Amino acid sequence: MSGSTIPRTIPLAAALASALLTTACPQPSGGSATETSSESTTGGTTGSSTGGASTGDASTGSSTGDGSTGEEATTTGSTGGDETTGDPAPACEALPGAPPPLDHEGVALVPIDIKSVEAELRFNAITRQHRGAATVDFESGPIEGAPLFDLRQQITRAVLDGEELPLSQVALVAPPAMDATMLAVGRVLEPCTAHRLELEYTLTNPVENDIALAHGPGWVAWFAELYDYPARVFAEKWLPSNLIHDTHALRVDVVVEAEVPHDVYANAAVEVIEPGRWRVAYSDATSMTPMIHLCPVDAIITSSSQVELEGALVDAEIWHCGVFEGKVPKLDDAGAELVSALKFAAGELGPYPHGDRFAAVILPLGQLASMEYEGGTVTRLASLRHEVFHNWIARGVRPLTQRDAWFDETWTKFAVNQDYMATTIALDEEPVRLIGENLWVRTFPLFGHETGTRIFATLSAAVGGAEFRAILREIYSERAGEAITTETLERDLHCRIAGDLVRPLFHRYVYGEDGEAPPPPAGYCE
């Protein structure tokens, strides 16, 4: 993507060869790093589970053996690839949704399980030079290898377990199985061990032409401004992060040096530590979670009302930062639309899943980068109803991995944008693959919006519109608060809809497979 401040992609072997052939210094946090071995594995999953639930459902798609299809391969802690030794597996479980390690230029690249991130983002409105610092506590998984994480900023200092790392040993890599780059740390870590990574970095907008950062005389405005397409535009824009399956504690201190008063707004409680310093803390965050904004006080416009949703009162807040280009929308209209949207989603699916507050940041007219967050949204007025519904489907029941991200857009668009009406699809059209090719994917196919809604429309036509809406409400109620896979949704639909329609539709138009769908395994609906 243009406008990035990160270094160019370089061959991993060239960047990390010397680091991976040496033993790291002693590990004060209890873990250790080792020399790389000719027996490095390319299979396996990582980490202890802290994130979304999973069920081990069987898929109608065919498994490629790389953890790319079938929930069972991604959640049971099996190595998922060629094992290279006869040693027993280490005593740590796989994190649901974690991809298998990759063998890239002779180096095993392994996902990690982030336990907590504590960050400070410091903005200087006078010099317009901004800096970030973060401490990442993480665990390695059951396979030794070089750990992977992501951050789209220029790192100026890196320390692993008390050892200062040359910056060349935090390298941007693009292995073939991935559709976007990540960062590899130049140390081979022993399995199932705890580690601490400390980072310092410059802080600039890594995405050209979005409204994340603005300056004026004596002030600075910043939006986290996350969105789900293209890749690498979740929290990794500003904070060290993992793929979306990983759930962890997150604390962000926002600090500003400026000539005028500022304030911070977020989808979590904001604590004022001292003048010019605010703290936003999340107990269970993913890389999709932080919705944090910094704005000069004089430019902030707010309104609030209460709405009753399924017997509970929710504060419906409207917030706007008026420093960005574009006409200010009518916030009274936004407030009325927010209340209506919340009532619609609750009426369709059930109680609001994010406490007693909904925080809606309204973008200037002309801005298009609307996005949902837990307990909030950053949106243009025209997309408000869509993004509010996502708080139930996407951030209430959420996709476990990005390969599953097609379903929350499908469900939301079918309900909100199309009012449960779309063209049906027959089983004689060309196969379409909506699901990601493997667990490393960072994007989803945009054409999935159309194909996915046609799948839902076909099921709705088969059982009747009112009955299908009741089925969707029942699935939501059962899965609320979970991260689920495509296979889980397939099973939940199949076991509620009579006849053999769900699995053939998923087989052909989700997994992209030709021919007949295999029969469900014994006990599939028990």
Q: Tell me the pLDDT tens digit for each residue of 78-136.
A: 223 333 334 545 668 878 999 999 988 888 999 999 999 999 999 999 999 999 999 99
Distance between CA atoms of 342 and 339, rounded to whole angstroms?
5
What pLDDT was estimated at residue 46? 29
What pLDDT was estimated at residue 69? 37
pLDDT digit string, tens, across residues 293-336:
999 999 999 999 999 999 999 999 999 999 987 777 788 899 99
What pLDDT was estimated at residue 230? 87
What pLDDT was estimated at residue 518? 95
pTM of the model: 0.86
What pLDDT was estimated at residue 58? 53
Q: How confident is the model at residue 32 (pLDDT cuts 50, 70, 90)?
A: very low
Report which of residues 332 and 148 the model is more confident about. Answer: 148
DSSP characters over 154-203? -EEEEEETTEEE-GGGEEEE--TT-SS-EEEES-EEPTT-EEEEEEEEE-
| Residue 444, CB-side half-sphere exposure with 13 Å CA sphere | 24
Question: What is the residue whose two structure tokens read 């993992």?
Answer: 242
pLDDT digit string, tens, across residues 405-425:
999 999 999 999 999 999 999
Burial class (CB in 10 A: 0-12, 13-18, 19+), 84: middle
Q: Is residue 437 pLDDT above 70, yes or no?
A: yes
Q: How confident is the model at residue 76 (pLDDT cuts 50, 70, 90)?
A: very low
- By DSSP bridging, strand 146-149 and strand 131-139 are unpaired
CATH 3.30.2010.30 is right for the domain spanning 299-389: yes
Residue from 289, 230, 261 nearest 2 by CA? 230
| CATH 3.30.2010.30 boundaries in the chain | 299-389
The answer for residues whose C-beta is within 8 angstroms of residue 81's C-beta and 6 or more apart is 41, 42, 43, 44, 65, 66, 67, 100, 101
Q: Is residue 375 pLDDT above 80, yes or no?
A: yes
Q: Is residue 182 pLDDT above 90, yes or no?
A: yes
What pLDDT was estimated at residue 447? 73
What pLDDT was estimated at residue 160? 98
